Amino acid sequence: MFEWSDTDLMVRDAVRQFIDKEIRPHLDELETGALSPYPIARKLFSQFGLDVMAAESVKSMLERERAKQAGEAAAENGDGAGGFGAGGAQASMMAVVVSELSGVSIGLLSTASVSIGLGAATIMSRGTLAQKERWLPDLMTLKKIAAWAITEPDSGSDAFGGMKTSVKRDGEDYILNGQKTFITNGPYADVLVVYAKLDEGDAAVDKRNRPVLIFVLDAGMPGLTQGKPFKKMGMMSSPTGELFFDNVRLTPDRLLGENPHRSGGDGRDSARDNFAAERIGIAMMALGIINECHRLCVDYAKTRTLWGKNIGQFQLIQLKLAKMEIARMNVQNMVFQTIERQQAGKPLTLAEASAIKLYSSEAATDVAMDAVQLFGGNGYMAEYRVEQLARDAKSLMIYAGSNEVQVTHIAKGLLS
């Protein structure tokens, strides 16, 4: 694959029209948090028929699972991801949608992608049929919003070893205590997928190695507090906040995945399953930011006139444009390679996804900072939007595993 297909380009144009009509006019309100991102995300879903597609996909997935449970032969034609994690043409269309939205509001995109790609996807991959029936129809259609909570104040990169949020058994139930932080959608999520350590009171078991369980909580449960959105450097349209658990009683039907007492299953595997997909998503987001900076800068270089010439005539400006073009080509090629590998049934390894995440997030941040510089004083003003892109781009180097942690994963892949 060396270029987008005609269908991809049609999707891109339709998304651009939506962005121009429904997002750009509201960017200032979204960026101050005055406007909620969720109604716009839902509108995007309904306008492109994604809600109907998702509802149908969830329905047929549930029917297949019911048939399987009833002992009937299951039809093997499903993608198992509600139509969103699939390979084939869908993968490239998804890349187009993700990159186009990222060039205008990465925050808006994250609210929906965390809800579906991490929250709902975890229930999809680890849940029982009853759990899928209970939560997925509303989550996959964005009627309800999910959060996916691992990070804690004392355990960011050391997410599992340092995890302090814990559950203790109380008869059949579990009692949850602790705290999470930096959680996308945390302040407003209807459904919360929460990772916690199992505390059996056995001092002989090293706290770092205790099993990690995953629970699904609903907003409003006694003992659960969803903090207010943090003020952030960028991604303002994505509400990020803390969660507090004070003796939250969880019935067993809220535990996702295998019971570690019976099978040795562990929530660490579930989170790791998400890591590669999340990192590939970062490359698509980086591409969107690079494309938008590239477009704005080429335009500005042609129109801003100094000393009787447009600034595009100056070699130091040309150097910035050339570097942006190289970054655009590299990151786009990485996205193309990812799509091809997915289509060929040979997905990227975690080390490869980490390398792509690291490179593309740094490239997007460099390009966006150069864009601010190229615009001069205008670049520092919110009106010209490149300052927002620079603030947004920086986030890509921190979440989905900080870039320093990506280095460790790349090296592990090389040295293993």
Ligand X SMILES: Cc1cc2nc3c(=O)[nH]c(=O)nc-3n(C[C@H](O)[C@H](O)[C@H](O)COP(=O)(O)OP(=O)(O)OC[C@H]3O[C@@H](n4cnc5c(N)ncnc54)[C@H](O)[C@@H]3O)c2cc1C
By CB under 6 A, is residue 402 in contact with ligand X? yes
Site for ligand X in 101-120 (CB under 6 A): 114
Q: How far lies 153's CA from each of 99, 159, 164, 171, 278, in Å? A: 31, 10, 9, 30, 21
By CB under 6 A, is residue 286 in contact with ligand X? no
Residue 4 vs 84, nearer CB to ligand X: 84
Residue in 58, 101, 149, 213 binding ligand X, rule: CB under 6 A: 149
Catalytic site residue 278?
yes
DSSP 233-247: SS-TTS-EEEEEEEE
By CB under 6 A, is residue 175 in contact with ligand X? no
Angle at 147 between CA 145 and CA 148, to 5 degrees: 145
Residue 288 vs 312, nearer CB to ligand X: 288
Q: Are 324 and 393 in contact (CB under 8 A)?
A: no
Residue 102 vs 184, nearer CB to ligand X: 184
Q: How far lies 6's CA from each of 92, 96, 344, 414, in Å? A: 11, 12, 20, 37
Q: Is 92 exposed, middle or buried (0-12, 13-18, 19+ CB in 10 A)?
A: buried
Residue in 148, 300, 359, 384 binding ligand X, rule: CB under 6 A: 148
DSSP 277-295: HHHHHHHHHHHHHHHHHHH
HSE-up of residue 185 (Cα within 13 Å, Cβ side): 30
Which stretches within 114-240 are classed as H helix? 121-126, 129-140
Residue 39: count other Cβ atoms within 10 Å of its Cβ: 11
Pairwise CA distance, residues 267 & 198, whole Å: 11
Residue with tokens 């949608």: 97
Smallest distance, Å, CB 299 to ligand X? 29
Residue 219 vs 398, nearer CB to ligand X: 398
By CB under 6 A, is residue 405 in contact with ligand X? yes
Residue in 150, 277, 358, 389 binding ligand X, rule: CB under 6 A: 150
Residue in 156, 161, 347, 376 binding ligand X, rule: CB under 6 A: 156
Residue range at the interface with ligand X (CB under 6 A); choices 66-74, 75-83, 339-347, 402-410:
402-410
Sign of CA dihedral 67, 190, 241, 109: positive
Residues 6+ apart with CB under 8 A from 257: 126, 127, 213, 214, 265, 267, 270
Nearest to 388 by CA among 280, 232, 279, 230: 232
Angle at 121 between CA 139 and CA 335, to 5 degrees: 115
End-to-end CA distance of the chain: 30
By CB under 6 A, is residue 191 in contact with ligand X? no
Residue in 318, 408, 411, 412 binding ligand X, rule: CB under 6 A: 408
Residue in 92, 105, 113, 151 binding ligand X, rule: CB under 6 A: 151
Residue in 160, 182, 275, 375 binding ligand X, rule: CB under 6 A: 182
By CB under 6 A, is residue 184 in contact with ligand X? yes
Residues in contact with ligand X, shown as a per-residue x/- string from 226 to 265 under the rule CB under 6 A: ---------x----x-------------------------
Residue range at the interface with ligand X (CB under 6 A); choices 6-14, 120-128, 281-289, 394-402:
394-402
Q: Which of 31, 65, 152, 278 is catalytic?
A: 278
SS3 249: strand
Residue in 101, 106, 183, 393 binding ligand X, rule: CB under 6 A: 183
Residue 231 vs 346, nearer CB to ligand X: 231
Smallest distance, Å, CB 252 to ligand X? 24
Q: How far lies 52's CA from each of 49, 235, 237, in Å? A: 5, 28, 25
Smallest distance, Å, CB 28 to ligand X? 20
Residue 240 vs 342, nearer CB to ligand X: 240
Residue range at the interface with ligand X (CB under 6 A); choices 8-16, 145-153, 241-249, 293-301:
145-153
DSSP 144: S
Residue range at the interface with ligand X (CB under 6 A); choices 22-30, 86-94, 149-157, 219-227:
149-157
Residue 27 vs 405, nearer CB to ligand X: 405
Sites of contact with ligand X (CB under 6 A): 114, 148-151, 156-157, 182-184, 235, 240, 395, 398-399, 401-402, 404-405, 408
Q: Which residues are catalytic?
A: 278
